[in-house]
Amino acid sequence: MKKYVLRFLPEYNCSSLWYENDAAYDKYGVDSIEYSDVGLSSSLIQELEKFDESILNIIDWNDPGGPCPLSKSERMEIYNEGQRLLSLVRTELDDEFEIIDCLDWLKPKNE
């Protein structure tokens, strides 16, 4: 069993890592977890921060309750980038970490 369980869950204006178990909460706190706190490389941190910025484009900030301003293909690009970064995070973190994929909310729905 992994010691620290984290969620990879993109949110607005914060990192995409969140605690999932008590050990992670005790070590990293209740807010989103800083990428440097878990020991990710600076190059991956830069990619993650760019990804986190892209999440802001999913909402039309002039009409936050309205439809997503991105096309399905643009939204799929963000989802795919999240999957790629999740894989890199899992690779870089040692055996003490389990990272749960919480990216499904980004994937466009078939309409």
Could you state, in order of their start, the residue ranges of all structural domains in the chain?
Answer: 4-106
Contact in structure between 1 and 94 (CB atoms under 8 Å):
no
How do residues 44-103 score in pLDDT, each as one tens digit?
999 999 999 999 999 999 998 898 899 999 999 999 999 999 999 999 998 899 999 999
Torsion sign (Cα): 11, 19, 89, 48: positive
Residues listed for the chain:
111
Q: Could you tell me which residue, 90 or 1, shows the higher pLDDT?
A: 90
Tell me: pLDDT of 2 over 80.
yes
pLDDT in tens, 24-40: 999 998 889 999 999 99
Residue 17 confidence (pLDDT) above 70:
yes
Q: How far is CA 30 from the centre of its chain?
A: 15
Tokens of 95: 């055996």
Cα gap 61→20, rounded to integer Å: 29
Q: Is the pLDDT of residue 111 over 70?
A: no
Which residue from 77, 83, 73, 85 is spatially nearest to 104, judged by alpha carbons?
Answer: 83
pLDDT of residue 109: 82
Question: Higher model confidence: residue 108 or residue 93?
Answer: 93
